[in-house]
Structure formats: C-alpha cells, structure tokens
Amino acid sequence: MRSDWTDLPFEVLDGIEAHTGPIHRTEPAPAGNHADIASNVDTASGRLFVKAARKVSPEKDGPEVRSLRNEARILPHVTEFAPRLHWTVEAGGWLVLGFEHVDGRHADYTPGSPDLEILAKTLHALQATPCPEIVQMQVERRWETVTEDVSPMAGTALLHTDVNAENLLITPDGRAVLVDWAFASRGAAWVELGLLLPWLLKAGHTPAEAADWVTEFPSWAQADPADVDLFSTAFAERWRRHAERNPAEWVALHADLTRRWAEFHRGG
C-alpha cells in the first residue's frame, strides 16, 4: 500500500530539501506498488521523481527499504537504460531515493503497437549488456520452492526481470527508459523473455502470438524447449500458490496469465 507524501516526517523533508531546495508541489506516480511513496516532485532545482520506504524500526529494514537499497546499488551500473539516481536520504526511519524525472508515458504492449519495436530494441540491448558485478541476485532461486532443479534458469546475463508496460517509459522523442531495477538479477538470458510473456498476454496477445514475438530473440530461440517448459510450469505454480495466500486481483490475474502460458507451451 502506498503512503501519502504528507506522511514524511520533517527531518526527511529537510534532508530532501538540502539537495533540491524548497519543494513546490508533489503528485503521486500513476502506477507501481512496491515503494511506500512514489511521486513526481517539483522543486526549486527542477522536477524529480522520488521513491521512499519506511523502515520497520530504526535498526531494521523492511522489504520495501531493502528493495530501494538494492535499486540504489544497481542504478549507477545500468545508466544506459535507467534514470539517473541523484541522491539518497536516510532519516527519521525512512529511506528516500531522488531520481532524474523521466518525461514519458507508459509503453503500450497491445498487438500491433509501435511500442513493441521500442521494447524489442531495449531488450536486445539489455541482452547484449554484460551483467554488472554488483547484481548478485540469482533469478533461478525464485523457483526453488516449486521445482527441484532450477539450474536451467541460472546464468550470467543481466536480467531486469520486470519489464512490464508500466516500467518502460517512452519519452516524446521515442526514447525508452526502463525503471524499477529493484529486482534485477543474473540468470539465463531467455528468462527475461519468459518473465515478459504474461505482460504480452495481459495486453491482448494470444499465447501463440506472444510465442511468435519472443522468437526473434536469439536467447529464446536457442533455449531448450524442455527448459522453457520447466520454467513455465514453475512460474505458473509459484503464482498459483501466491494467489492462494494473496487475494489481490492483480495476483489472481498474473496467476491466470502464467497458467495460460504454461498450458500453451506444454501443449505445443
């Protein structure tokens, strides 16, 4: 659940204004759900994007703070794709990240959308980027609880792991900026495409159309279909279990999309 900008204690606001000068106006971000606060912020030194999370206690980070710390560590190593991180503030039990504001709209993944070409270009570039040493999360570990052998998903490629349409901003001049790097991981390159598939389905692609779309990526085309089957089944099973515990509508939808993909892939 998001908090409101006005929840920030004075010492945090002071810390931010030390970097930006007086804050004139704030406006909540139109999407996302991890950070406690995500806002566009107009300041004396210009417009910024700010994400903030509250610690569990002065000594203890919660999952949102851990995600922000991770994102702050990774961002300086993926500047080709991501917004700049200008500063961080830690005060009053909060961690705050101040980003370059990207003037952009969410990508449109519906079939036939010209944004799909921009997405493809971004993914090709991402797949060709060596994984920075700092990125240490191993993507295959996500599926350890649902399948015995996760080694097919392991690898050394840089994976963003959450290239949904709300994390890909398209600027008025057609540039793509990928946000939300908290869960960037290392793994087999094709896993990035596997994780993207439910977002293509959500935007209206049939599983067959989505399968066709990802084939242009060499990592996907060369992946062993048995490995992709194992991944697809594990991916769907993890979301099925997640939906059992979490009644949120978007979780049920993701469980359904991953199930549809897995059934299609097994059948094909």
Residues in touch with Mg ion (CB under 5 A): 32, 167, 180
* Binding of residue 50 to ligand ADP (CB under 6 A): no
Which of the ranges 32-40, 52-60, 107-115, 254-262 carries the binding residues for ligand ADP, by CB under 6 A? 32-40
- Which of Mg ion, ligand ADP, none does residue 235 bind (CB under 5 to 8 Å by kind)? none
For residues 202 and 257, is the Cβ–Cβ distance under 8 A? yes
- Does 78 engage in binding with ligand ADP (CB under 6 A)? no
Quote the CA–CA distance of 180 and 27 in Å, as a whole number: 18
# binding residues, ligand ADP (CB under 6 A):
18
Q: How far is the CB of 33 from ligand ADP (least distance, A)?
A: 5
* 167 is a contact residue toward ligand ADP (CB under 6 A): yes
Within residues 173-192, the interface with ligand ADP by CB under 6 A covers: 179-180
Under rule CB under 6 A, residue 5 binds ligand ADP: no
Q: Which residues, listed in sequence order, are joined to residue 185 by a DSSP beta bridge? A: 159
| Cα pseudo-dihedral 55, 61, 65, 71, rounded to 10 | 150
- Assess contact for 55 and 89: CB atoms under 8 A: no
Query: Which residues, at least 6 apart from 153, have a Cβ–Cβ distance to it below 8 Å?
Result: 139, 140, 143, 187, 188, 191, 227, 231
Cβ within 8 Å of residue 200, ≥6 positions away: 109, 209, 210, 213, 214
Stretch that binds ligand ADP, among 15-23, 27-35, 114-122, 144-152 (CB under 6 A): 27-35
Using the contact rule CB under 6 A, the part of the chain among 26-34, 129-137, 189-197, 230-238 near ligand ADP is 26-34
- Which structure tokens are listed for 38? 């995500």
| Residue 102 is a binding residue for ligand ADP (CB under 6 A) | yes
**Binding-site ranges for ligand ADP (CB under 6 A):** 29-35, 38, 49, 83, 99-102, 166-167, 179-180
